[in-house]
Structure 1
Amino acid sequence: MLRLSNNVEIAAWEIDISAIRAQGAGGQNVNKVSSAIHLKFDIKSSALPEFYKQRLLSLNDSRITKDGVIVIKAQSHRTQEMNKEEALQRLKTLILEAVKTQKARRATKPTKSSQRKRVESKVKRGQTKNLRGKVQF
Structure 2
Amino acid sequence: MAEDVPVGSRFVIPGTELRERFSRSSGPGGQGVNTTDSRVELSFDVARSVAIPPALRARMLTRLGARLVDGVLTIAASEHRSQLMNRDAARARLVDQLLQASAPPPAKRRPTKPSKGSKERRLAEKKRRSQVKRGRGGRYDD
- Residue pairs, 1:97-108, within 5 angstroms: 97-102=100-105, 103-108=107-112
Q: 1:56 is matched by which residue type in structure 2?
A: M
Q: Give the match for residue 53 of structure 1.
A: 57
TM-score (norm 1): 0.73
- Counterparts of 1:116 and 1:26 in 2: how far apart (Å)? 68
- Counterparts of 1:111 and 1:77 in 2: how far apart (Å)? 56
Q: Give the match for residue 36 of structure 2.
A: 33
- What percentage of aligned pairs have identical amino acids? 34
Q: What RMSD in Å do the two structures reach over aligned CA positions?
A: 3.0
**Which residue of 50, 64, 88 corresponds with 1:85?**
88
The 1:118/1:72 distance shift into structure 2, 3 A limit, reads farther
Between Structure 1 and Structure 2, whose CA radius of gyration is higher?
2
Provide the aligned length of Structure 1 versus Structure 2: 127
- Counterparts of 2:66 and 2:32 in 1: how far apart (Å)? 29
Q: Give the match for residue 70 of structure 1.
A: 73
Q: Runs of 5+ in structure 1 lacking a partner?
A: 128-137
TM-score (norm 2): 0.70
